[in-house]
Amino acid sequence: MSRPHSTPWGSFRGEMVAGTLRLHPRDGDPDPSPILHNVPSAVDHPARVRRPAVRRGWWEDGPGPTERRGREGFVEVGWDEVLDRLAAELARVRDAVGPQAVYGGSYGWASAGRFHHAQSQVHRFLNHAVGGYVRSVGDYSGAAAQVVLRHVLGPSELVSKGTVTWDQVAAHTDTVLAFGGMNLKNSAVAGGGISAHVERGAMAAAARRGALFVNIGPLRSDLPAEAGARWLSVPPGSDTALMFGLLHTLLLEDRHDTAFLERYCVGWERVAKHLLGADDGTPKDAAWAAGITGVPADEIRELARRAAGGRTLVTVAQSLQRAEFGEQPVWAGLALAAALGQIGLPGGGFCYGLGSIGHYGRRRVDVPVGALPQGTNGIDVAIPVARVAEMLLHPGAGYDFDGERRRYPHVRLAYWAGGNPFHHHQDLGRLRRAFGRLDTFVVHEPVWTATARHADVVLPTTWTLEREDIGAGPFDPVMTAMHRLVDPPGEARDDYAIFTGLAERLGVGAAFTEGRDVRGWLEHLYARTRDGLAARGLSAPPFDEFWAAGELSLPQRPDDGALVGAFRADPDTAPLPTPSGRIELASATIGAFGYADAPGHPAWLPPTELPDSRHPLWLVANQPATRLHSQLDFGAHSLAHKVRGREVVRVHPDDAAVRGIASGDLVRLVNDRGSCLAAALVTDDVRAGVVQLPTGAWFDPLDPSAEVPFCVHGNPNVLTRDHGTSSLAQGCTGQHTTVQLERYDEPVRQVRAHRPPL
């Protein structure tokens, strides 16, 4: 009999039939994600970690900095032996230096379940067993936007998420200016799970009503056919210039909403001064924007007029801000929407991230959803998440962040559970050197990722199918009873069981478990939601009933319940949580930081790394369509979209022709940081001068000892730059870099990344 389960890319029912997992997307999901087809491959795949494994040098010679991580073999050891040794090492670091020597940020997505959420597990464990750990703040997804929006609009959970819903777009919007598009492969995914994929239907309904979707970006395919979009092809990193060209037109033609700007905003005068060039001598008019973006000035003017003439929504994909000066297009997009005066009206205004991920455009769940309590971190030391290599390479060095001058701590031990830094971080050659500085690197993994291969201690964990959990997210109206569908491979244990074993050895077992087994915790977490339902007089079934039914509907807040709605009604009684209580189009706070790379108003700051004669092409390294990040890269759907076993890079016909490249050729992308192979797909879906290679192919260096890595599989993070967005947010800039591209005719070995190292 099939049983329910959930992943970040959708819910399904599954059953084992003759040793194979059969799955059926959830009834009621109108548009299930094809990524589901990767899931059956997880069952007992050769890439699974089956027994605890320890790098030979660490096991024999003990902890310490070494260049051998990622280059040396592993020995398999028993659970008791490895937990004894690891507990002793944790105690050593804790007692010799303290929690500030332990990095426990453990960034990553892992599974949809609320209890076996690996990051919560490792945080809870380190708080109890070590007394705390060095944290990370922000995320790779949207750090730049989070920081700037917090200053100018308010915390994103309150204000910038939940402003506009897909239902409103379907019913009200006339024009969508989609900066970075709204690719359905992206919104198919949400942390905590997703019960119904509604985006395609909403875009189709809006288009049938006559709404115009404008896909602004380097890739034609960033909006689905159903949207019937107009494609405005612009180079990466140029959006702020286009937004300024639109704003300048509105200002010049007096189409901006002065009443809205006066009542709801501060700082418009400062922005207008910059637009007119009164501060720097450069008017940012349509002709100026045309010179930077390649969009004809007349088209920019026409678009500004259209936007002012109806209900217009400005969306800014997360990709735009995962780039140098990524704060600017988010802030400038907000200014554009403010000038149009429709923020807070149904289907109009500004929505950062709509279409980037399944959380946006949905109504917030109106009852609490339980999460594993993490205990108290005894220290308050944090780094911006994407500065991890910098921290490891430069302990004690000073850096700017969000108005503060900070110093990197000296970390000796890093503990990762539920994330893959050799997927998510930039400049992998540098990252390898950074991890070489540690005394000890511990990784919990279900599979032999590149991160596991660079660790000292690799502990095999169960994957989501192999355990019970509760799937729930803040914007999804369905809570899922995630039933156990298969047995774990080898000796794999739940993260919870591993941490319990370590906690017991360190004398904090009872505090860590609170006496609960897995079922006990699930019932405990469920009780929060059940109490919330009961308090509202709604049906609140006991746990066993929920478990047997497989899912539970949760109430949602009304469409107009967002803070911005109340603010629109009366900004004096419902001010925004900003210093002025208004939308800050110029920010005295940010201005006072004095950052040249993030001034006190949205500004055009051209990228410092631009295509040149040695690296003439932009590389867009975006999210993969065929999987979530690196997860299940070996799955059937992911593999079916590789060519000759390599990830596919899209190349414009003009760029291909001058290099003698045809579709299906192996090509090498190269810059000073590294190089990788990929298989070419020649298509005019990508802008000339831009190549696109998604993330997620497992790092497979031809020679693990090489200082400048050459990945034979197609991981773009060997090429990307490890550099913060700006002094303000220090966010990830992995989306863009510059490369040369060449046909690769040498013989080359097969990809081995999906084979275990022992």
| Cα(363)–Cα(314) distance, integer angstroms | 19
Nearest partner of 577 among 262, 157, 163, 267, judged by Cα:
157
For residue 234, state whether it binds ligand MGD (rule: CB under 6 A). Answer: yes
> Does 141 interact with Mo ion (rule: CB under 5 A)?
yes
What letter represents residue 677's amino acid?
A: L
- Sheet containing strand 413-417, edge to edge, reads 74-76, 53-55, 457-460, 440-445, 413-417, 102-103
Question: Is position 189 an interface residue for ligand MGD (rule: CB under 6 A)?
Answer: yes
Phi, psi at 500, each rounded to 5°: -65, -45
In what helix (H) or strand (E) does residue 38 lie, and over which residues does it extend? none
Q: How far is the CB of 419 from Mo ion (least distance, A)?
A: 11
Stretch that binds ligand MGD, among 213-221, 485-493, 550-558, 565-573 (CB under 6 A): 213-221
Helices (H), ranges, 294-425: 297-308, 327-340, 388-393, 421-424
CB under 5 A: which stretch of 135-143, 205-213, 244-252, 327-335 binds Mo ion? 135-143
Min CB(538)–ligand MGD separation in Å = 31
CB closer to Mo ion, 144 vs 680: 144
72-131 residues in contact with ligand MGD (CB under 6 A) are 108-111, 116, 118
Told to check if 301 binds ligand MGD by CB under 6 A, we report: no
Piece of 67-75, 147-155, 313-321, 507-515 that binds ligand MGD (CB under 6 A)? 313-321
The Cα-based distances of 551 to 367, 526, 543, 738 in angstroms read 15, 12, 11, 47
DSSP assignment of 627-640 equals: SBTTBTTTSHHHHH
Q: Which of 270, 322, 387, 430 binds ligand MGD (CB under 6 A)?
A: 322
Stretch that binds Mo ion, among 75-83, 134-142, 412-420, 439-447 (CB under 5 A): 134-142
Binding pattern for the stretch 689-718 against Mo ion, x by CB under 5 A and - elsewhere? ------------------------------
CB 138 within 8 A of CB 323: no
Catalytic residue check, 166: no
Say if residues 331 and 599 touch (Cβ distance below 8 Å).
no
Residue in 444, 568, 642, 754 binding ligand MGD, rule: CB under 6 A: 444
CB-based burial, 120-133: b 16+ in 10 Å, e otherwise: bbbbbbbbbbbbbb
| Residue 622 found at the interface with ligand MGD (CB under 6 A) | yes
> Rule CB under 6 A: is residue 257 a binding residue for ligand MGD?
no
The stretch among 136-144, 290-298, 528-536, 671-679 that binds Mo ion (CB under 5 A) is 136-144
Letters for 698-727 (x = contact with ligand MGD by CB under 6 A, - = none) are: ------------------xx--x-------
Binding segment toward ligand MGD, per CB under 6 A, in 71-79, 257-265, 284-292, 416-424: 416-424
Residue among 142, 190, 269 at smallest CA distance from 29: 190
Catalytic residue among 109, 231, 448, 521: 109
CA gap 326, 724 in Å, rounded: 9
Q: Which of 107, 288, 331, 448 is catalytic?
A: 107
Distance, CA of 289 to CA of 283 (rounded, Å): 10
What is the separation of C-alpha 694 from the centre of its chain, rounded to a whole number of angstroms?
13
Interacting partner of 445 out of ligand MGD, Mo ion, none (Cβ under 5 to 8 A depending on kind): ligand MGD
Catalytic annotation on 107? yes
Interacting residues with ligand MGD between 481 and 520 (CB under 6 A): 495
Residue (of 23, 92, 129) closest to 505 by Cα position: 129
x/- string (CB under 6 A) for ligand MGD, residues 349-388?
Answer: -------xx-------------------------------
Q: Does 426 bind Mo ion (CB under 5 A)?
A: no
Q: Tell me the C-alpha distance between 490 and 193, whole Å.
A: 27
Task: Look at residues 642, 743, 618 and name the one whose alpha carbon lies nearest to residue 698.
Answer: 642
DSSP-H helix ranges across 22-77: 56-61
* Residue 120 binds Mo ion, judged by CB under 5 A: no
| Interface residues toward ligand MGD, by CB under 6 A | 108-111, 116, 118, 140-141, 179-181, 183, 185-186, 188-189, 216-219, 222, 234, 236-237, 239, 317-320, 322-323, 356-357, 417-420, 423-424, 444-447, 449, 461, 463, 495, 620-625, 628-631, 695, 716-717, 720, 732, 734-735
| Interface residues toward Mo ion, by CB under 5 A | 141
| Residues labelled catalytic | 107, 109
